[in-house]
Amino acid sequence: MSRHVKKSPSLCTDRPLDNADICNKLSLLRQLLASCFGPTGRLKQVHNSIGGCVVTTSTSSVLLPAISSAQPFVNLIKSSILNHVSRFSDCGLFAATLCLALVERAKQSGLGGNVAIGLNKHLLGLCVSYLQREDCGCKVKLDFGSSQHLVTLARSIISSKPACVLTEQETLHISKLASQAFLLTLPCANPGTVTLGRTVTASVEGHSVLASAVFPGLLLDVTGALCPHKAESLNSSPMCVVLFSASLAGDLPELGDGIVEVPSGVDTDSQILDQLLELGKQAVKDEVKLFVCQKVIHPVIQQYLRSQGIIVIERLGVTLMEPLIQLTGAQPVATLHSTLPAKAYGKVRDLSIRQFGSKTMLHLHPPGESAICTMVLCHRNETMLSELKVVCQKTENVLRLTLREPSALLGGGCTETHLAAYVRHKSMNEVTETAAVLGCSQSEYLLGVEGFCHSLESVAKALEHNGGNSFIDLTHAHHWTLRADVMSGCMEDMTGLCGCGLVEGSPSRKWTCLNSKYTEFSPASPSRDSPVQPRVLDSFTAKLNALQVAVETANLALDVFLLVTFLNVSMVIDSG
């Protein structure tokens, strides 16, 4: 029997960004993401309708996958931002809010799609070449001679994730740990190809954040599996380690490749157990002190090895295998059919036991330099701990980006306002020639510049969530906020600091409301000799890429000429 389904006609939406429904959805998405932005961003709770795990977050990499929409535009922007975050770990919300603001402004300005796209490309080029200049006023060279810049960069990322629920002191503690962990993963003495080490994260729930710590080497959770006094007695260095990736449970299907010859009438189980015991005996003979298996070890073997004074760890899991191989130099044994080759053995210099709340950890010290370290993260409950874990991993990735480009951008909205002022000034001086090159009128050009700068400023403005007012100073073009209860007329009396903390308020300084008209000026760079250090820094590499992604994605959305929706599948056609 066959069933015929009448094919529904495809739904075509001409110039989709002229469609009010689509524009409303994009505007809603912008408001949603902008409301999460920065240290005081509002948290979102993500859960499904049938119960299960509830996630509290403001992180784009957690939030965006949870937003499902039938609207292809929403999905286009979502996948573009997620792709950026998967590569650069930071500035996802910046990219998303800037992209959506650019689309919204371009539509409001009434500029033709092609004109807006051409202008956005040109202005992006201005920004990128300015950011890459040595004398760029919103960039700082990172000083690896001290940990201050690294800690500031880490702190800016960690403090912008309020779902971690950290006090000032806890934020600083975790920022220092993240910087310390990053430095421990940099190999020092090896000439030739440099391979970065790695940070393994262990989490302990129900403990104070301030109990979190970083250790060189590897900490393995051995709660309930080990007699501590045995480990303490085993500190004759260095110690021999053997590591199995094959199961030692004694089950036939888990024996791996090879042939097992079983004469008729013989008990297979005891044959296999005998074979495993032979391996155990060899390990004892070869003076193995630490016997680790990725999977399960038969209780009889465990008993035998322990009786010989060997520390046994089973069910290590696949994620810890690689760091353990790197640390010990052991080659994991994948088959049980031969004797253990000498090259399978690895070494550790020292073993000790560490206690974190109810967790017992075995601390393995590398025999030489290994660039492996363990970050033990503690937090009061599971939700906060899982957000803290995500944030620390992102921070590590961002710190690693500084090896590629040892610079950072000023945070707190100052890079956005400074860039907007720079673009305004630069483009005012080239109206006639650039408008001619781009094939648009001078008034269209000015409208496009205003839309672009306004979008950048709106991202800085989005950092404020408590009804405060945003300002820009007319010397350095940095970003300032005043609490909602302070009259904006009192601006001249303001003696605080700008968003990044580099510029100090003074009575002679002039400010204007952000997004109000001001006479364009060339924004000055803060003095490089000043002892004042920025308090908020953003990753240069991540933000530069986020800026490019935001403008390119906005241009792609502006370029869509026809939206064709099939019954179940949507297709987007670019304009030709």
Binding mask 423-462 for Zn ion (x = CB under 5 A): ----------------------------------------
Instruction: Tell me the closest approach of the beta carbon of residue 415 to Zn ion, in angstroms.
Output: 8
Q: Phi and psi of 281, rounded to 5°?
A: -65, -40
Instruction: Name which of 78 and 478 has its Cβ closer to Zn ion.
Output: 478
Instruction: Tell me the closest approach of the beta carbon of residue 105 to Zn ion, in angstroms.
Output: 24
Owner of token pair 């510029």:
503
Instruction: Name which of 370 and 407 has its Cβ closer to Zn ion.
Output: 407
Identify whether the C-beta of residue 98 lies closer than 8 Å to the C-beta of residue 31.
no
Q: ∠ at Cα 359 (355, 360), nearest 5°? A: 55
Instruction: Name which of 179 and 415 has its Cβ closer to Zn ion.
Output: 415
Stretch of 124-132, 191-199, 208-216, 473-481 contacting Zn ion, by CB under 5 A:
473-481
Instruction: Tell me the closest approach of the beta carbon of residue 393 to Zn ion, in angstroms.
Output: 28
- Which of 52-80 are b and which e, b meaning 16 or more Cβ less than 10 Å from the residue's Cβ? eeebbbbbbbbbbeeeeeebbbbebbbeb
Instruction: Name which of 250 and 413 has its Cβ closer to Zn ion.
Output: 413
Instruction: Name which of 419 and 498 has its Cβ closer to Zn ion.
Output: 498
Stretch of 113-121, 457-465, 481-489, 499-507 contacting Zn ion, by CB under 5 A:
499-507
Q: Which residues pair with 481 in a beta bridge?
A: 470
Instruction: Name which of 84 and 478 has its Cβ closer to Zn ion.
Output: 478
Contacts 24+ apart (CB under 8 A), 130-135: 130/419, 130/422, 130/426, 131/409, 131/419, 131/540, 131/544, 131/547, 135/525
Q: How crowded is residue 128: how many other Cβ atoms within 10 Å of its Cβ?
A: 13
Q: How crowded is residue 403: how many other Cβ atoms within 10 Å of its Cβ?
A: 13
Query: Which residues have a Cβ under 8 Å from the Cβ of 119 and sit 6 or more positions away?
Result: 111, 438, 440, 444, 445, 448, 449, 452
Instruction: Name which of 90 and 538 has its Cβ closer to Zn ion.
Output: 538
Instruction: Tell me the closest approach of the beta carbon of residue 463 to Zn ion, in angstroms.
Output: 12
What the block records as the tokens of 478 is 């940095």
Instruction: Tell me the closest approach of the beta carbon of residue 171 to Zn ion, in angstroms.
Output: 20
Instruction: Tell me the closest approach of the beta carbon of residue 404 to Zn ion, in angstroms.
Output: 24
Distance of CA 32 to the CA centre of its chain: 20
Stretch of 13-21, 31-39, 175-183, 409-417 contacting Zn ion, by CB under 5 A:
409-417
Instruction: Tell me the closest approach of the beta carbon of residue 417 to Zn ion, in angstroms.
Output: 8
What the block records as the tokens of 56 is 């509290």
Instruction: Name which of 198 and 479 has its Cβ closer to Zn ion.
Output: 479
Binding mask 300-329 for Zn ion (x = CB under 5 A): ------------------------------
**How many C-alpha atoms does 295 have within 13 Å on its Cβ side?**
16
Instruction: Tell me the closest approach of the beta carbon of residue 498 to Zn ion, in angstroms.
Output: 3
Instruction: Name which of 27 and 533 has its Cβ closer to Zn ion.
Output: 533
Instruction: Name which of 90 and 416 has its Cβ closer to Zn ion.
Output: 416
Instruction: Tell me the closest approach of the beta carbon of residue 522 to Zn ion, in angstroms.
Output: 17
The reply to whether 500 sits near Zn ion by the rule CB under 5 A is: yes
Stretch of 25-33, 45-53, 100-108, 502-510 contacting Zn ion, by CB under 5 A:
502-510
Q: Which of 461, 478, 509, 543 binds Zn ion (CB under 5 A)?
A: 478
Q: Which of residues 103-142 bind Zn ion (CB under 5 A)?
A: none
**d(C-alpha 363, C-alpha 349), whole Å:** 11
- The SS3 assignment for 234 reads coil
Q: Which of 498, 514, 551, 556 binds Zn ion (CB under 5 A)?
A: 498
Query: Which residues have a Cβ under 8 Å from the Cβ of 380 and sit 6 or more positions away?
Result: 165, 205, 206, 207, 208, 209
Residue 238: asked if its preceding bond is cis (omega within 30°), the reply is: yes
Stretch of 9-17, 130-138, 262-270, 496-504 contacting Zn ion, by CB under 5 A:
496-504
Instruction: Tell me the closest approach of the beta carbon of residue 499 to Zn ion, in angstroms.
Output: 5
Burial (Cβ within 10 Å: 0-12, 13-18, ≥19) of residue 274? exposed
Size of the site for Zn ion (CB under 5 A): 5
Pairing of strands 560-565, 570-574: antiparallel
Instruction: Name which of 62 and 414 has its Cβ closer to Zn ion.
Output: 414
**d(C-alpha 131, C-alpha 526), whole Å:** 15
Residue among 42, 196, 149 nearest 406 (CA):
149
What the block records as the tokens of 206 is 């129900």
Instruction: Tell me the closest approach of the beta carbon of residue 129 to Zn ion, in angstroms.
Output: 22
Which residues bind to Zn ion, rule: CB under 5 A? 414, 478, 498, 500, 502
